[in-house]
Amino acid sequence: MDHFGIGAAIYGAARVYFQSARRTGRTTALLDGLKDGDRVFCATGAEAQHLERHCRERDLQVQVFTLPPNQALQVFDRGTPQGRTIFDHGWVELYYLAALENARAELDHLQRQTSGFGAAHFETRAKARELAKWGLPSDTTKKGAR
């Protein structure tokens, strides 16, 4: 358990940043920087279709793929492009959020596995409150705090 709530605070700060970056021209900047032969990976089919439409409007010869961020290594299954490989901002956001959540889960696992029997083996009310403050899911909110 992240006793100090550092992971939850970082996760919350990332979500605030991602929300505040909406409608700031990231897609336009991506399109302005693309060159023929590049490929872009998006997290969802809707994002990929949106980007493909804009690429067609600009007459850009760019490959656009959908790739779930939790399967990032599958990027190698697509071979090497003529140009660059770029991950769109939605993909990058989801990738970072998943990495932060994985780090939190790993810390919880390490603490449980290296602690003696007792309080360290179940989530506390304090942890559940800290996670809820930052909008993170907690097992205690599902099962009831102990």
At 75 the pLDDT is 96
At 146 the pLDDT is 41
Query: Is residue 127 predicted with pLDDT exceeding 90?
Result: no
- Average pLDDT over the chain reads 87
Query: Is residue 106 predicted with pLDDT exceeding 90?
Result: yes
3-state DSSP call for residue 58? coil
CA distance 18 to 13: 9
Could you report the per-residue pLDDT of 56-91, keeping only the tens digit for each? Answer: 999 999 999 999 999 999 999 999 999 999 999 999
| CB proximity list for 52: less than 8 A, separation 6 or greater | 64
Query: Is residue 109 predicted with pLDDT exceeding 90?
Result: no
Amino acid symbol at 115: S
Query: Is residue 9 predicted with pLDDT exceeding 50?
Result: yes
Higher pLDDT pick, 133 / 12: 12
Work out the pLDDT band at 26, boundaries 50, 70, 90: very high
Q: Are strands 39-42 and 63-66 parallel, antiparallel or unpaired?
A: parallel
Strand ranges in 33-140 using DSSP code E only, listed in sequence order: 39-42, 63-66, 85-87
Query: Is residue 16 predicted with pLDDT exceeding 50?
Result: yes
Work out the pLDDT band at 10, boundaries 50, 70, 90: very high
